[in-house]
Amino acid sequence: MSRPIDILLKRVRGHQRVPSDSKEFLEVTKRDALRLLENDLDQLLLSALPERRPSLQQEMARFVDLFGRFLQEEGPSIDWDKIQKLPENAVMDYSKLKSPNNDKVQMMLDKLVVVKLNGGLGTSMGCHGPKSVIPVRSDLTFLDLTVQQIEHLNKTYNANVPLVLMNSFNTDEDTEKIIRKYKGFRVQIYTFNQSCFPRICRESFLPIAKDCNVEKDIEAWYPPGHGDFYDTFRNSDLLKQFIDEGREYCFLSNIDNLGATVDLNILNKLVGEECLDKPVEFVMEVTDKTRADVKGGTLIQYENKLRLLEIAQVPKERVDEFKSVKTFKFFNTNNIWAKLDAIDRVCRQHTLNMEIIVNNKTLENGLRVVQLETAVGAAMKCFDGSIGINVPRSRFLPVKKTSDLFLVMSNLYNLKNGSLVMSPQRMFPTTPLVKLGENHFGKVKEFLGRFANIPDIIELDHLTVSGDVTFGRGGTVIIIANHGDRIDIPAGAILENKIVSGNMRILDH
């Protein structure tokens, strides 16, 4: 992430000394930027209640470290010419993994902790509150389905797999109220909060917050991405608790990925009969990349270590190469298995070094701010014995848009013990490509209002809907827009017991 010297200097106030050497000049300027930030953070801490200051001080120290690294970065973190070919054993094929014997499963599960990233809001789909409480199937929410899955595991194998939710200050209060309803379930639920960092003014590089009361000015603060998991999990004391209980691994995933269920074959490779002589400290589930996944992270070998490569790290002239399905075959699902004592070690030794994601935003009042974030998968290079496992696409079923919601609500999937399983009636395993226009289908309420019921899509290949379209109930309609063709259905059109195919536009007269 290169920033020209003059731009950096404009952002720093109060600098007096002007050394002659430009490199030394820039170093002094960076030190001043850090010093000014620390001064502002010290003032912010004074506004906090005395009992909150120790934990806030710890949090702000992490932010200062992140900001300091941000100032020091000069150019891309990857030298493209140093990317090595993936070693043969770097990515295992899921189909080669063996299932464990039933009598070993309880022992394996009792070494596991399930963690769900639960910091996001449903605002992008027009919902209020945590995204995890959006109904996605049979009036069940992401959280309901997750609890069902783990309870089924615990009951089936007489195990005690706990569920841990990493909340943010945006989702914590609502989530704490919601999880009370699971008290009678056979699942122990724990929560902890990820960090709350101050947004930085893009011009001055100083916090825009005036005091530590987050609720008073919520726009001045942000949760710094899921890479914050490692430190906050350890600081919550949950990591120590689980290690003391004899647990060895956590399985971490986004709560909106309905395909991210506990997989016994992968667990067998980590703690069962199939485990390797040298423990695997970090597993990233990847799946075959398609043209729809061109912006997603991929795996590379770099400086003799396996690591995640994100599009933000790619030089502009190499972006097309990065997007190539032939060159980079795998796509990161963000389903991660990590060894608990290894997490403790890298946090304790301060050897976590995740690439910084610079997220530029403009607030409602027009103020331009910077958020510094990290991604959980970027820590892969900091662990020993990391591997990838190439899993079926069924383990990557995220719901980011209403077009994803359309798929998971349809008859394409059957619900079984909280898990979505593709219908055996579908003749091929690929998921249909569905694109619903943002203007009329982008929000959940609008989306539901435009479908009297979700149509039968067992044989669907590709559906694109744009414009003011409402779907009625009943009948069988088959719409086939072959590759390169387009079908536009206008407002008010009624299609019942029809087959529409080819390349055509139905126009109002």
Q: Consult the annotation and say whether 371 binds a ligand.
A: no
Catalytic residue among 305, 400, 401, 443: 400
Q: What is the DSSP letter of 444?
A: H
- The alpha-carbon radius of gyration of the chain (Å, integer) is 25
Q: Consult the annotation and say whether 400 binds a ligand.
A: yes
| Sheet with 189-193, side-by-side order of all strands | 91-93, 386-390, 282-288, 330-339, 249-254, 112-118, 163-167, 189-193
Q: Consult the annotation and say whether 225 binds a ligand.
A: yes
Q: What is the DSSP letter of 431?
A: P
Q: How many CB atoms lie within 10 A of CB 206?
A: 18
Who's near 287: CB < 8 A, 6+ residues apart? 330, 331, 333, 390, 391, 392, 393, 395, 396
Q: Could you give the CA distance from residue 320 to residue 299 in angstroms, rounded to a whole number?
A: 16
β-pairing, 282-288 vs 135-137, is: unpaired
Our CA dihedral for 270, 273, 277, 282, rounded to 10 degrees, sits at -10
Q: Consult the annotation and say whether 131 binds a ligand.
A: yes
Q: What is the DSSP letter of 97?
A: P
Q: Could you give the CA distance from residue 83 to residue 80 in angstroms, rounded to a whole number?
A: 6
Q: Which amino acid is residue 347, in one-letter code?
A: C
Q: Consult the annotation and say whether 216 binds a ligand.
A: no
**DSSP assignment string, 287-336:** EE--GGGTTS-EEEEETTEEEEE-GGGS-GGGHHHHH-TTT--EEEEEEE
Q: How far is CA 226 from CA 309, 347, 426, in A?
A: 16, 15, 35
Phi, psi of 439 (to 5 degrees): -65, -35
Q: Could you give the CA distance from residue 126 to residue 443 in angstroms, rounded to a whole number?
A: 5
SS3 178: helix
Structure tokens at 71: 């100032």
Give the chain's largest Cα–Cα span. 80
Strand stretches in 55-178, DSSP E: 83-84, 91-93, 112-118, 135-137, 140-141, 163-167
Q: Which amino acid is residue 459, in one-letter code?
A: E
Q: Consult the annotation and say whether 188 binds a ligand.
A: no
Q: What is the DSSP letter of 507?
A: -
- Tell me whether residue 295 is one of the annotated catalytic residues: no
Binding-site residues from annotation for UTP:
131, 194, 225, 256, 400
Binding region for substrate: 226
Any idea which residues carry the catalytic annotation?
400
